[in-house]
Amino acid sequence: MNVSGQPVPAVTFYTAIPGCRPPMRADPSVLGTLPARGFQYCEALRAASSFGWYVFPPIDFTLQWDGSQVIWTYRGAKAWYPLASAQFPGYQAVFDRVAPSRLRGFSPPFLTSVTEPGIVQVWSGLMIESAEDWSVLVRPPANLPRNLAFDLYEGIVETDRWFGPLFTNIRLIKTDVPIHFSTEIPLIQVQPLHRSAYAEEVSNTFGLVANPTEFTDEAWARYERTIVKPNLDPQRPVAAYATSVRRRRRSGCPMSAAGDAR
């Protein structure tokens, strides 16, 4: 809470390029692309899909890579241009007009072709910051079918300590074909991540039961409750796990889940 008693958002986006599309809460249906049965019954799929926010390209643009050099064009351009480092069209003047005088000339590039072959850094047109001890995971949109012409790297940024452009790195895969990026399709998904969740001590320490003969009676009893009994019940409700999770979220109270994990 802040001094006025209002909740402090874990993540705040700053629109740096005027008119670029704002972030959007990630969608449990993945913009309508999930199969209807998965959307209705698979809570694990819905939860992963809706975690965080979609971030879109600030303009329609196209890349093409011949295995050595990247060229690019954008909506409204009259030609293709070799890519080294490129500003968003017309943005340098906008940035210099609004930024403090000492920062003029330092607008972030929109596209940068880095040293490694086929790697392009893309700026979303947004800046980002987060609350204390919160970071962001920048990743491909969860469960959205991938474009086979490129891949996205994932990264965790400590945005409570680092304020700057929200960008991603793209690895171009196909050569000699135009690869189009649209403002209608999310480029990345940004997910809030508390720093404690990825601390070294968490990842370096985990439990392991190495053999089913070592399962405890409680482990077998839990398996029986969640898997066996529901499947022996001819009247069992469909998607009991999904129903129990959604009810728990609405009530804010802990409760046990039974049935399949769909």
CATH number of the domain that residue 88 is part of: 2.70.40.10
Residue 214 lies in a domain: yes
Supply the DSSP symbol for 53: E
- Token pair 């196909």 is at which residue? 174
- Is pLDDT above 50 for 254? no
CA 185-189-191 angle, to 5 degrees, is 160
For the residues 90-103, what does the mean pLDDT come to?
97
Q: What domain count does the chain have?
A: 2
Reading the block at residue 92, the tokens are 């340098």
Same domain, 154 and 237: no
Query: What range defines the domain where residue 15 resides?
Result: 11-202
Same domain, 85 and 180: yes
Length of the chain equals: 262
Q: In whole numbers, what is the pLDDT of the chain averaged over residues? A: 91
Same domain, 113 and 131: yes
Sequence-distant (≥ 6) Cβ neighbours of residue 45 within 8 angstroms: 34, 38, 39, 143
Tens digit of pLDDT for each residue in 63-86? 999 999 999 999 999 999 999 999
- Token pair 């409700």 is at which residue? 237
Please report the pLDDT score of residue 228 as a whole number.
92
Residue 257 lies in a domain: no
Look at 98-102, 139-143, 202-206, 231-235 and tell me which has the smallest mean pLDDT: 231-235
> What are the b/e assignments for 177-190, b being 16+ CB within 10 Å?
eebebeeeebbbbb
Q: Is 41 helix (H, G, I), strand (E, B) or coil?
A: helix
Q: 81: which strand partners?
A: 72
Cα dihedral value 99, 105, 107, 108, nearest 10: -150
CA-wise closest residue to 150 among 173, 116, 169: 173
Residue 133 lies in a domain: yes
Same domain, 147 and 241: no
Please report the pLDDT score of residue 231 as a whole number.
85
DSSP-H helix ranges across 155-226: 200-203, 217-223
Please report the pLDDT score of residue 244 as a whole number.
67
Same domain, 126 and 185: yes
Please report the pLDDT score of residue 255 as a whole number.
40
Supply the DSSP symbol for 198: G
Residue 256 lies in a domain: no
Tens digit of pLDDT for each residue in 153-167? 999 999 999 999 999
Look at 32-36, 59-63, 182-186 and tell me which has the smallest mean pLDDT: 32-36
Residue 38 lies in a domain: yes
Q: Is 232 helix (H, G, I), strand (E, B) or coil?
A: helix
Please report the pLDDT score of residue 237 as a whole number.
72
Tens digit of pLDDT for each residue in 10-23? 999 999 999 999 99
